[in-house]
A and B are shown apart, each in its own frame.
Chain A
């Protein structure tokens, strides 16, 4: 138990901040994922074959390639790509993007591919009559989407989005390879300096279990909230 003490003697506070970091990365990645999903879902549902192709390319590649490989691409290629773009604008200094941004971007793009599939499925399972009824009533496209389609879609999407959240949360452990101090990295550091890997990795596992358990509880509440009237 001394190993988990707060302050200078133990690893309690370090692991606490690392847990906050894991949550921060997961939430950021989830939102980046939503952003990508909002771009790629319309592409996948579009009438145009070429747009379909772009949407399918994104989801197929990301879901078919290991997360770790995507993270390595971002970790080693991220600052190179930014520097290349900057050099076009005449900025030639070395740019280093921090591990938090690289990590959230990498995980966000992965999570976005899963969210895209969830949104696509949810929109497709909304009754066609809903779209037609909105049209007949003269509701404009914007209101139609935000007031009619989105609320119904959310209800259908939440159970699957909760799976995406679980995947995203667990994927953040992989960012530890880039050196961002989240739960896994902090446990690695603590295990190395105390020579007690068994204890710290088991504790990391408990932290992840806690996070998944708490988030399940919250998501269940959301599910109840959005399924009112059904």
Chain B
């Protein structure tokens, strides 16, 4: 055990954790919006809209995240039209490519989680709202969405942790996130175990925080059924 290396690499890895957290928070934020949008599309009665939303989630849940990042980072640059458009400012940066890939990926999973949450809402609750003369729009925004969010908290907590682990793939497109820096230190010192313990410890700590935060939210917003 090389404890010196563990001490010297800790601050470097902690600095890289900031990159990981930035990637995570950005992709979760945009992913939640996309997820909610596609969950609503999934509940649409129009078969084309429905199938489109299903196709999106199937495509992104059926392929590895690595493929998705590579298509966006290496693949999209090949299209001449994109290269000359304003989008190129974003797409030439590995940072934004990673965020786009993570967003689309987590959006697909989130849409499934929210959809099943919407579907488990008891019809009685909606009927009660209707019989009180509340408009459909308000029923949706003030009754269905809050209940669905509460229902989906445990599953969404898992998704946050999965996404946090997913951000490690940013290191494959030259980003120096926690895993990227860990790999760099490993390949220069050839001390994999020490670096794994420190980097793994940081990841576990984040998992622990997320897990407990979600538990706290679950408790705070729990309602007796």
Contact = CB atoms under 8 A, between A and B. Distances in A.
Contacts of B75: 197-198, 201-202
B207 A64 contact: yes
B178 to A, nearest CB: 8
Interface stretch (A31-39, A72-80, A86-94): A72-80
Interface stretch (A119-127, A150-158, A207-215, A220-228): A207-215
Contacts of B146: none
Contacts of B179: 66, 68-69, 72
Most chain A C-beta atoms within 10 Å of own C-beta, residue among B67, B79, B190: B67
A198 B192 CA distance: 34
Interface string B40-60: 000000000000000000110
Nearest to B72: A201
A66 B78 CA distance: 30
Contact of A184 (B66, B196, B208): B66
Interface string A53-68: 0000000110111111
Contact of B203 (A69, A76, A174, A196): A69
B66 A174 contact: yes
B40 to A, nearest CB: 25
Interface string B169-205: 1011000000100110011001011001001100110
Contacts, number: 112
A219 interface: no
B71 A60 contact: no
Most chain A C-beta atoms within 10 Å of own C-beta, residue among B65, B75, B187, B208: B75
Interface residues of A, number: 35
Interface string A122-161: 0000000000000000000000000000000000000000
Interface in B55-85: 58-59, 62-68, 70-71, 74-79
Q: Interface of chain B, helix or strand or loop or mixed? A: helix
Interface string A167-199: 000110110110000001001100100001110
A63 B62 CA distance: 20
B64 A65 contact: no
22 contacts: A60-B204, A65-B165, A65-B200, A66-B165, A68-B172, A68-B179, A69-B196, A72-B179, A72-B196, A73-B196, A77-B193, A173-B66, A188-B70, A197-B74, A197-B78, A198-B78, A201-B75, A202-B75, A204-B70, A208-B63, A208-B67, A213-B62
Interface of B: 58-59, 62-68, 70-71, 74-79, 161, 164-169, 171-172, 179, 182-183, 186-187, 190, 192-193, 196, 199-200, 203-204, 207-208
